[in-house]
Amino acid sequence: YEKQGWELYRIVDKEGQPVRFPVAVGNWLFITDLVIGVKQGDGVLNLFLDNEELSQWPYYSRNRDNGMLQAIWFSQCFLKAIQALGLKVKIAHLNDWQTTLVAEYVKTAPYADAAAQLKIITTIHNPEYQGRYGSENFDLTGLPRSLYTSEGLEFWGDWAMLKALKSGLLAYAVSDTYAHEIQDDSNPAGHGLQGFFRSLGPRLRGALNGIDYRKWGFKEGQPRDKGYYRKALEEIARKEG
C-alpha cells in the first residue's frame, strides 16, 4: 500500500500497545492488527485489517480455500474492529460474497451489542461469484449448523456465502433492470440463485450504477474546481435532507 501512496499507522491503545485481536477460522487463529491508512495528496482515511499471513495470499482467488478463509476472517474482523474501537455503527454497506457473512455473524452472541443497532445493506454486482464452497468447509465459519439448509446458506449440496445477505435489511442490484433479470428463471444472470433472489421480495431493489447527469453534468461556463463541487454537494444535501 505504501507503493500506492498510502501512509500506514498502527492503532495503539492508551498504553501504547497495538490494538489487535484473535480471529478463529476453524482450527486457525489469525492475530489481526488495526491500521489507519492516509492517502497522500487527498488525506482520505481508511481502516485496514492486517494479518501478515493472510495478506500474502491473493484475495480474489474465488474458487480456492484461501479465498474462503479470508472471507470468513474478514467478516468477523469487521465486527471485532467495531468492538475494539468502541464505534457505534448504524449502517454497514457490504459488497458481494467476500463480506456477506457479516450479516450472519452479527446475529451471534459475541456481537449482540452491535446487532442492536446495526442495519446491513448489500450490493450485488454479479451473482456468478457466490463464494461457493463444499459442505465439508461450512464448519470453518463457526456459525450454527442450523444455517446449512436450503433456506439458509446451503446451495445444491455446497454452501454459498452470498446467500447470507438474506439476513440483512436490504439488497441492491446495480440497476432496476438487473434486479429483475437475476430473479428470472429464463435469464442466466441469476446463476442458479433466481429463486433465492425472488424470496427477498421487496427487500431486493435496484440502484442505478452511474450518475444523475441532471445533478452532476457539466454546464457551459460552469467552474470545475473542488470548491465548487463541495458547495454543490452541501446544497444537494440541504435540499434532500
Distance from C-alpha of 86 to C-alpha of 194, rounded to nearest angstrom: 39
Rounded distance, CA 179 to CA 75, Å?
25
pLDDT of 69 > 80? The answer is: yes
Sheet with 170-173, strands from edge to edge, namely: 91-95, 119-124, 170-173, 204-206
202, three cell numbers: 421487496
pLDDT band at 25 (very low <50, low <70, confident <90, very high): very high
Q: Which helix (H) or strand (E) holds 33?
A: strand 28-39
**pLDDT bracket for residue 63 (50, 70, 90):** very low
Return the pLDDT at 112: 83
Number of H helices, E strands in the chain: 8, 11
23: pLDDT strictly greater than 90: yes
* CA separation for the pair 141, 49 (Å, rounded): 18
The model carries a pTM of 0.82
Report residue 162's pLDDT band, with 50, 70 and 90 as the boundaries.
very high
Torsion, Cα of 51, 53, 58, 62 (10° steps): -90
First to last CA, the chain: 37
